[in-house]
Structure formats: structure tokens, C-alpha cells
């Protein structure tokens, strides 16, 4: 296990970080704000009016995997159960059998290649379904959309895998605004880009560990077994993304719990056999004496999750109350807690901008962990 002292030396040495980052993950994560602005321009040029001119559809079918699926789930969680349009997220290559001319199909993929992207596009065209494609420039998906006379958002091929979430989410937000499913204020792309830029400044490699929220969290998770408690559906979607990034980039197993639905399970884990046996966590302890990873609770907050989630059958009924109960369980079992992107003044941001801050800090954290453990170079052929 890499010691925190050695890991901190690596994280604060720019040349070492660059040598361990052959794919350029750090610059790609830092450029998330620029991704939003560039993709917004490309979306405007694609002319989504060809999709929105017919008004609201019966259903919105989003064909996507990995980051595209996360983007779709963010949109679905943002719309919530009161949405006038159903949002279905499917992996492809098959479309749901009920998909027809009264629906809209969005095929979202970084590469725009492969049967999981091309087949559903041609199938949508065959069924007369309104289609929108999002993928790499000059990809086979673009040809399929051209055949169907459907708009296509061409993403630059410089996009790096595991860092394209905002390139895929931006056109979906624009589409939702065009269909009047969300307001322009809610999906304020410039505010989101500004929030991402601020995180890039706060969490960039030039900022030393003791003032860098992402490096600090990476060091906290270095020998941890993270348990994520998410406040409501939108935060729950963020938690799924965070767990995937930590697992994929750093090889770190993560357990996620969405509040209030999974409150009982979360509290049971926090008070269970993997919790510390007594005494407070000591960051400066000798890791050589540890017998295994230690639980650490990571909270993902969403103050707009609502007071109640459900029809009153749960106790507690709100995500906030359930999260506070998980925090009490952690305190009782001496499980250390890290609040994601709770530095600064989170309340001054809108809901999606707050989500952007959380996801960006988490992305930086996952990359820093990968570079500290040198998993990136080990994964290269």
C-alpha cells in the first residue's frame, strides 16, 4: 500500500504527475468548462430546432453507455417523477419495442462507432422516430444521422475517455430546454462552465495538497473503503458516476447508498464489522500496522432534493434527515467523514452548478489517486 507521505510527494511533483499520465487525464479533467462551452457551440450549429419543432414527445429514449448513460441519468433525475415526458436510458443496440414516431431518440457516445451506436440510429430512422446523434466527428453515427436527415453534434476526437461527461450532457440539457422540460436558468451552461473552471483552479496540479480539495480527498481515500451516502436522486446519480470513476481509474471498490431509500443499509454498514473497533482515525498512524482498508463515509449533498421523497411511507421521509442519520451512525462508529465539494460557499451556485463542482472534484480525485498509485502507466500496453 502506498504511504500518504510518498503519495503526497507524487501529487505535489508536477513532472512526476505528467510522466504518470500518458493519456492526459489531468488536462482533460481541467478542461471540463471549456468542453461545456465548445459543445454548446457545436450543439447550436447542429440546429436542434429540427428535433424540437414538433413539440414535446411522448417519450425520450436515450441510447448510451458509461458516460453517456450517466449524462442521461442526470437529465432523468433533474426532470424528476413529475416530468411530462418519460425518459428511458437503454444501452443499445436495440430500441424499446414501443418506440415510435411520437418519441425522440438520442444516441450519445464519445466515439460514435460500433453497433451500439449505429444500429439504433438506423432503426430509429426506419421507424420514423425523431433522432439526435452525439458522437465523434466523422464517425459512422454521423453518416447514419445524415441518412435520416437528423441533427448531429460532432465532438472533437481529442476528447479523452472517462472525461467526456459534460460533452455528452450539454446537448441533452440544450434539448431539454428546447422542449421546455427545464428552464434556461436551471440549465445555465455558462454557470456550469464557470463552476467547472473554478474547480480546475482549486484542484489543479499547481495547487499543493494542503490547499487542494481533490488531492486532500485522494490522500484520505488512499487506504480507505469508501461508502458514499447521496442526498436524493440527483446526488445518487452523481454517486454512481463517482464510484465508477474511482473503480475504473484507481481500482478502488466503492459502495453507494441513495438516501432515503437505502438509509437502513447504509447505517448497518457504517456500524458493521468493517467499522473501526474503537478510537478516532489518525491520519499520521503507521499504515504498516493496518490489516486492511478502513471505512470512510463520503457525502454527496443536494439541498434541492426536497423535504420528502415518496408518499410518506418511509421514516425518515426526507433525504436530508436520512443523511443526518447516516452521519450520526458514522460518528458513533468512529468512521471518518469527507464532504464532497463542501469547501467555499456551495450555496451560491445553482443546482446543476453544484453538481458540476461535485463531479469535477471527484474526477480530479480519481485521477490523482490513479497517478499516485501509478495505475495509468501500468494499464498502458
Q: Would you kindly state where each structural domain of the chain is located, as residue ranges? A: 4-25+193-379, 28-183
CATH for 4-25+193-379?
3.40.50.10490
> Which of 49-63, 97-111, 173-187, 333-347 shows the lowest mean pLDDT across its residues?
333-347
pLDDT at 4 over 90: no
Q: Whole-angstrom Cα distance, residue 24 to residue 157?
A: 14
Average pLDDT over residues 144-156: 97
- The CA distance from 62 to 134, in Å, is 11
Is CATH 3.40.50.10490 the right assignment for the domain spanning 28-183? yes
User: Any residues with CB less than 8 A from the CB of 1 and at least 6 apart, and which?
Assistant: 222, 223, 287, 290
pLDDT of residue 379: 64
Distance, CA of 371 to CA of 249 (rounded, Å): 9
pTM of the predicted model, to two decimals? 0.93
CA 271, CA 359: separation in Å to the nearest integer? 27
Asked if 4-25+193-379 and 28-183 have one fold, the answer is: yes
Distance from C-alpha of 377 to C-alpha of 16, rounded to nearest angstrom: 12
Predicted confidence (pLDDT) at residue 296 exceeds the cutoff of 90: yes
Rounded to whole angstroms, the Cα distance separating 40 from 34 reads 10
Amino acid at each position: 500500500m502506498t504511504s500518504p507521505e510518498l503519495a503526497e510527494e507524487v501529487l505535489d511533483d508536477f513532472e512526476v504527475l505528467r510522466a504518470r499520465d500518458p493519456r492526459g487525464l489531468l488536462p482533460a479533467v481541467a478542461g471540463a468548462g471549456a468542453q461545456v462551452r465548445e459543445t454548446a457551440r457545436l450543439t447550436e450549429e447542429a440546429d436542434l430546432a429540427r428535433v424540437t419543432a414538433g413539440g414535446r414527445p411522448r417519450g425520450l429514449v436515450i441510447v448510451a453507455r458509461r458516460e453517456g448513460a450517466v449524462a442521461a441519468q442526470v437529465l432523468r433525475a433533474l426532470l424528476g417523477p413529475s416530468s411530462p415526458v418519460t425518459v428511458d436510458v437503454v444501452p443499445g443496440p436495440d430500441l424499446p419495442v414501443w418506440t415510435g414516431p411520437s418519441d425522440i431518440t438520442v444516441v450519445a457516445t464519445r466515439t460514435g462507432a460500433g453497433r451500439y451506436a449505429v444500429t439504433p440510429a438506423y432503426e430509429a430512422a426506419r421507424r420514423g422516430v425523431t433522432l439526435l446523434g452525439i458522437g465523434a466527428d466523422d464517425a459512422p453515427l454521423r453518416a447514419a444521422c445524415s441518412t435520416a436527415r437528423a441533427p448531429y453534434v460532432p465532438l472533437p476526437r481529442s476528447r479523452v475517455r472517462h472525461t467526456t461527461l459534460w460533452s455528452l450532457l450539454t446537448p441533452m440539457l440544450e434539448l431539454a430546454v428546447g422542449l421546455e422540460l427545464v428552464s434556461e436558468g436551471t440549465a445555465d451552461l455558462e454557470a456550469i462552465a464557470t463552476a467547472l473552471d473554478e474547480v480546475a483552479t482549486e484542484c489543479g496540479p499547481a495547487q499543493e495538497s494542503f490547499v487542494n480539495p481533490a488531492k486532500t480527498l485522494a490522500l484520505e481515500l488512499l487506504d480507505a473503503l469508501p461508502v458514499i451516502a447521496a442526498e436524493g436522486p440527483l446526488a445518487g446519480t452523481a454517486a454512481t458516476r463517482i464510484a465508477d470513476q474511482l473503480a475504473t481509474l484507481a481500482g478502488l471498490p466503492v459502495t453507494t447508498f441513495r438516501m432515503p431509500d437505502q438509509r437502513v443499509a447504509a447505517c448497518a454498514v457504517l456500524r458493521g464489522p468493517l467499522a473501526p473497533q474503537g478510537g478516532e482515525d489518525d491520519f499520521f498512524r503507521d499504515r504498516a500496522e493496518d490489516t486492511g482498508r478502513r471505512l470512510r463515509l463520503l457525502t454527496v449533498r443536494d439541498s434541492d432534493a426536497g423535504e420528502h421523497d415518496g408518499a410518506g411511507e418511509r421514516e425518515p421521509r426526507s433525504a436530508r434527515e436520512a443523511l443526518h442519520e447516516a452521519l450520526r451512525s458514522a460518528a458513533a462508529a468512529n468512521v471518518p467523514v469527507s464532504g464532497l465539494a463542501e469547501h467555499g460557499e456551495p450555496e451560491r451556485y445553482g443546482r446543476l452548478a453544484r453538481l458540476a463542482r461535485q463531479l469535477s472534484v471527484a474526477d480530479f480525485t480519481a485521477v490523482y489517486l490513479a497517478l499516485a498509485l501509478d495505475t495509468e502507466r501500468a494499464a498502458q500496453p
